[in-house]
Structure formats: C-alpha cells, structure tokens
Structure 1
Amino acid sequence: MLLTKYRYQVISVTEIFKRDRNGLTEQEFMQRYDVSMYERPSVTVDMLIFTVFDKEQDNYRKLPEKSMQLLLIKRGEHPYLGEWALPGGFVSVHESIEEAAQRELKSETNIENLYMEQLFTWGDVGRDPRTRVISSSYMALVDRTSLDVRAGDDAEDARWFEVSYQVFQEKKTMLAEGYEFERLIKITLKHKAEVLTTTVKIATMITGRTRRISREIIGSQGIAFDHAKIIEYAVERLRNKIEYTHIAFHLMPQLFTLSELQQVYEVILGKELLAAAFRRKIAPMVIETNQYTKDAGHRPSKLYRFNPSWENT
C-alpha cells in the first residue's frame, strides 16, 4: 500500500498504474497537466459583523432602546472609492478561505480570532469591475463592547451602521405551472448624519417541485459592489437562525434580564413579541440566578445566564 502526494488516502499499487483514455497514469497526467487551460477567477471573502447596541436616550429610567448594527469600512482605493463596503479582500493561493477571512478582518478592522459562520457564495458575472470575482461571505453576531475597531489596510474608516430592514411591496403572479412571488426590500444603514440606502428585489419562482430564488439590486446609494444584496440575505438568514439556535446569546453579557434578552430578539426579528410566549420559548435556554439588577432608577430585576446544555433539556 502506498500514499501518493496527489491523494490524501491509502491506495494500492494497482490503482497507481491505472491508465486513462489517453494511456496516462495519474502521476503522468499530473506531470503534464496545464493549469493555464482554464481561466481562473479571483476569490474573495466578505464579512458581515452584526451587533445589537443601546441607542442614546435622555430618560435614564427607561430600559434603553436597542438597534441592530453592521460593521462597514469606507473604501480608500478604487473601485468605489469613498463608498462603504463589507470588510473583506482577496484570498491568497497559500491560505484557506477561513484563514483569509480572519486575516482580512484583522487588517481592515483590527478584529481578530472571531468565530464566523459561512453564509453564502456569490458568483454573478460582472459583480466586480476589476475582474471575475467569486466571493464567500461569512457572518458573526458579536458584543461590540469587547471589540477595539480601527480601520487599517486599504480601509479609510470603519464604522457601525444602524440597520433598518423594511418590506414595502409584495406581488404574486400566477404561472401556468406555479407562481412567482416578488418582494421589494428597503434597507437603510445609518451612522450619525451619514445615510446609505438600497432596494433589493427578491423573486421566488415555484414551478412544480422546483423553487428558484433570485436577488436584484434595484437601486443603491453609497454601498459598494453588490454588498447590498449580501446584506439583505444576511439579515434574512439571521432572522431565521435566531428562531432555532442560541445565536442571540452571543450579544448578551454573562448575566442579563429577560427583558433585555427579549429586546435583542425583537430588534433582530423586527417585531414585538408577547412577553409570556417569549419566556416560555426561551425557558430551556436560560438559568435563573439569585442575583438582581442594581441600576439607579429601575426596579430590581432577576438576572439570568445562558444554559449551555439547553439542547439536551
């Protein structure tokens, strides 16, 4: 039995000398292989770093309102010079996609060692004016108070933008063997006086047992590349994940009140929740402590912590 440098598995001597239709063994084929036969697109990574943070308010007696925010960098180079984009960059031939994501995040925002989940791969032709680019996007939900965000590399600035996600038009069209459902989504990203806007059309076509979804940017102001489409998809994915995972707890401190936790869910889902129903749903995910809040101006509230064994409950 031998271990070849071309396969990371043990194979027999007979397999090594198998010949293809041209009479070549695998070793001979690899020696003659011409890597220039096919045009090779560039590969990039884009990171969506979300957080939920308190809004500024005048009344300290009220529970602070929260907003969902997304980290963007201001491009310091062409193309899209001066516009805002997701942190990201090109993947080197000597690193994995995950390694590239961590490296680019560190070099552009000063964030490192962050756990991110792969979101989607974007490969539309013409999505980058420089060359043919395929991008793998990653998503994370973080507590921004623990991060020291600073722009670097080719980024002129790095800022947290408040995210507003609104469905403002829906249309259903019947087809011969199914139907098409269109939604127009308006996304507004705001940081102080700077406001970025985009409209994304999502078309879902159902024919028989086939379901196809396409996304199209109808208009975009201040957002580079096709990142508006990626942001829309990420918000939708985040809303789905919060329903069946513990991802929201990445935003919480070690101890928290149920009202604070409910606010985080409401901000991400974009809707109000009934307190009683919410508490029944998350009951297995939290553990009650003997501690209470001590904030001035507020009645003491019971503090809870995350239950890491909730899935086995």
Structure 2
Amino acid sequence: MADSNLRDRNGLTEQEFLRRYDAGIYERPSVTVDMLIFTVFDKEQDNYRKLPEKALQLLLIKRGEHPFLGQWALPGGFVSVHEGLEQAAQRELLSEANIGNLYMEQLFTWGDVDRDPRTRVISTSYMALVDRTALDVKAGDDAADACWFEVDCRLVQEKKTMLADGYELERLIRVSLVHETESLGATVKVTTSYVGRTKRVSREIVESEGLAFDHAKLIEYAIERLRNKIEYTDIAFHLMPPLFTLSELQQVYEVILGKELLAAAFRRKIAPLVTETNEYTKDAGHRPSKLYRFNPHWGSLE
C-alpha cells in the first residue's frame, strides 16, 4: 500500500493528485479482442472402410457492417471501459458466434498504427482448441454469417541475407482458407533478424483476398504458436474425445503440424501422455483398434 503522506514535486499527496488528474491529457486508442477458435474435423469421404481424413479448421465471421463489409474476419470486438480483456473476449464470442464459457489462451497484442481504418486500435488475440461437435455456432450481432473454414498455412519461399553482425531470414507464408465454394487467402512476409543476441520479428501482409483487417497476420502467428505448443504440451488432447485410437491422435498431430509423422517415433513420443484401456473400436468395416485415454498425470512422470 502506498504511503498516503508522501508528496510529489508539486507538493501533492497521491489522493490529491488523483482528484486533479485529467484523463484527457493523452489521446486514448480503442482496444479490441480477436479470437482464433481452432478445431480438427473429419472430412467427408465415400469409402467407409478408410480412417476418415482430418482437417484443421478455423471459425470466421462474415462482416455485416463497414469497414470490410462482406469480408471474413476473426470473431471479436471492442473492449468497454468497465470490463477486462478476457471478459470482452467471452462476451464477443457469445454475441457473434453463440459460443460461451470457453477457455482461451492469450496470444499476442497487435498495435500497428494503421491496422484499422476507423481509428487507432490495439488488439489482443486469444486462441482456443475446441471440439466443434459440442458447439452450436450461429451468427449474431453485426455478423452476417459464421462458418468453419479449413485452414492451411505453408512456407512458399525463404531467403537468408547476411548482415554485418548477424543475418536476416525472410519467409513468405501462404495462408489458405476454404469453406464449400468460398476460398480466402493471404501471403504474409515474416522477417526475422538476428543481430548479436537480439532477435526481432516483423510481419507484413503482401496480399490478401477476402480477409478483413490484418487478420491474416493473426492467423499465421496463431498457427505458428499452435505448431510449437503441440510439440511440448498436451494441447492436442483438447481436440480428442475421451477415448481414441493412436492413429486418430497421430492424424490430429499431422494435421496441425502440416506434415506426416513416422508411426513408431510418434508412439514413443506420446507414450507418457496416454493410458491404454481394455476397450476396442467397434466401427463397421474397420479392424478393431485399441482405445486410449489422456493421462492427466503425464507431467509428473518426467
């Protein structure tokens, strides 16, 4: 607790200073929240004997108002003076997509000066992994529609430039999103400079088709974080049912990482995270496979 008798250079106590404080001294930017809600879902297929292919999907909202009317954006909105960031995120997600009480992880704060044509806006992005079958997504508020888009994020070009005291790595990342006949896309340039012990990363949208604001950057960054986290945390299990096969779990890892994994190496790696059960799959057309469940105590085994 502050000492109420301390006085500043103008002879004011803290109480006196606060009574006289003019909040209009500084211009105040608007604050928003943007949510990246990911899921992994089975693709439709004709051959019921094959294990269904899975796809990484992202929830997007079709804007029903200016700016970017008719374009797709992440669910989100403005933070009021009387609520916290996470409160605003939960409120906006409920009002725009009918999703409530979701655990979300704060990712990053975006503050480029010209990122919103309306006014100076600083935004904090949040990420969640969900089982979409448990959600009843509906567009609301200022949203014209709400849909799950299959999302893919791939490196298309990489260039390394040597500097006097380090080097710079420039990568072009292609973000593609598809929902039925609707296709969106963007190319994000990610520049990482290594000078001495200092690492700096910047992102720039080279081109964007159908995505509002700077949301292509938010999507690319979230997928990068998701791919890093899946390697050392149990985040993938947010997408799994209570019982699952190791093949299904491997598919989820492959879809998020964007690459195929060797089955034997994968099973060794995730062994501490799963517990074998005495149950088997009973799907018609498939050979029975052993079912596993998540081991919540895996961290204590290290």
TM-score (norm 2): 0.99
In structure 1, what is the equivalent of residue 54 of structure 2?
A: 66
**Pair 1:98-2:81 in alignment:** no
Using the TM superposition, give the Cα deviation of residue 257 of structure 1 relative to its aligned residue in structure 2, in angstroms. 0.2
Paired with 1:65 and 1:20, the residues of 2 have a C-alpha distance of 66
Taking the TM superposition and a 5 Å limit, the aligned residue runs for 1:90-239 are: 90-239=78-227
In structure 2, what is the equivalent of residue 274 of structure 1?
A: 262
Paired with 1:96 and 1:102, the residues of 2 have a C-alpha distance of 10
Paired with 1:24 and 1:54, the residues of 2 have a C-alpha distance of 65
In structure 1, what is the equivalent of residue 67 of structure 2?
A: 79
SS class of match (2:51): coil
Paired with 2:19 and 2:182, the residues of 1 have a C-alpha distance of 56
Using the TM superposition, give the Cα deviation of residue 166 of structure 1 relative to its aligned residue in structure 2, in angstroms. 1.1
Counterpart AA for 1:59 = N
**Pair 1:42-2:30 in alignment:** yes
SS class of match (1:261): helix
In structure 1, what is the equivalent of residue 243 of structure 2?
A: 255
SS class of match (1:64): coil
Counterpart AA for 2:220 = E
Paired with 1:260 and 1:248, the residues of 2 have a C-alpha distance of 11
Unaligned stretches of 5+ residues in structure 1 = 1-8
SS class of match (1:45): strand
SS class of match (1:203): strand
Using the TM superposition, give the Cα deviation of residue 108 of structure 1 relative to its aligned residue in structure 2, in angstroms. 0.2
Paired with 1:210 and 1:263, the residues of 2 have a C-alpha distance of 37
Paired with 1:182 and 1:126, the residues of 2 have a C-alpha distance of 23
Using the TM superposition, give the Cα deviation of residue 103 of structure 1 relative to its aligned residue in structure 2, in angstroms. 0.2
Using the TM superposition, give the Cα deviation of residue 126 of structure 1 relative to its aligned residue in structure 2, in angstroms. 0.8
How big is each residue's C-alpha offset from its partner over 1:205-240, in whole Å with a ceiling of 9 and x where there is no partner?
111111100000000000000000000000000000
How big is each residue's C-alpha offset from its partner over 1:1-34, in whole Å with a ceiling of 9 and x where there is no partner?
xxxxxxxx4x5xxx21111011111011001000
Paired with 1:211 and 1:310, the residues of 2 have a C-alpha distance of 33
Paired with 2:197 and 2:273, the residues of 1 have a C-alpha distance of 36
SS class of match (2:37): strand
Paired with 1:255 and 1:17, the residues of 2 have a C-alpha distance of 62
Using the TM superposition, give the Cα deviation of residue 51 of structure 1 relative to its aligned residue in structure 2, in angstroms. 0.4
Paired with 2:153 and 2:55, the residues of 1 have a C-alpha distance of 11
Paired with 1:158 and 1:95, the residues of 2 have a C-alpha distance of 25
Counterpart AA for 1:141 = L
Paired with 1:144 and 1:161, the residues of 2 have a C-alpha distance of 12
Paired with 1:130 and 1:173, the residues of 2 have a C-alpha distance of 37
Paired with 1:302 and 1:194, the residues of 2 have a C-alpha distance of 38
TM-score (norm 1): 0.96
Using the TM superposition, give the Cα deviation of residue 76 of structure 1 relative to its aligned residue in structure 2, in angstroms. 0.1
Counterpart AA for 2:18 = M
Counterpart AA for 2:43 = K
Counterpart AA for 2:110 = W
- Percent of aligned positions that are identical: 78
In structure 2, what is the equivalent of residue 21 of structure 1?
A: 9
How big is each residue's C-alpha offset from its partner over 1:256-297, in whole Å with a ceiling of 9 and x where there is no partner?
000000000000000111111100111110010000000000
Counterpart AA for 1:290 = N
Counterpart AA for 1:190 = V
Paired with 2:24 and 2:173, the residues of 1 have a C-alpha distance of 42
Using the TM superposition, give the Cα deviation of residue 49 of structure 1 relative to its aligned residue in structure 2, in angstroms. 0.1
Paired with 1:227 and 1:187, the residues of 2 have a C-alpha distance of 11
Counterpart AA for 2:36 = L
Using the TM superposition, give the Cα deviation of residue 88 of structure 1 relative to its aligned residue in structure 2, in angstroms. 0.2
How big is each residue's C-alpha offset from its partner over 1:49-87, in whole Å with a ceiling of 9 and x where there is no partner?
000000111100000000000000000000000000000
SS class of match (1:240): helix
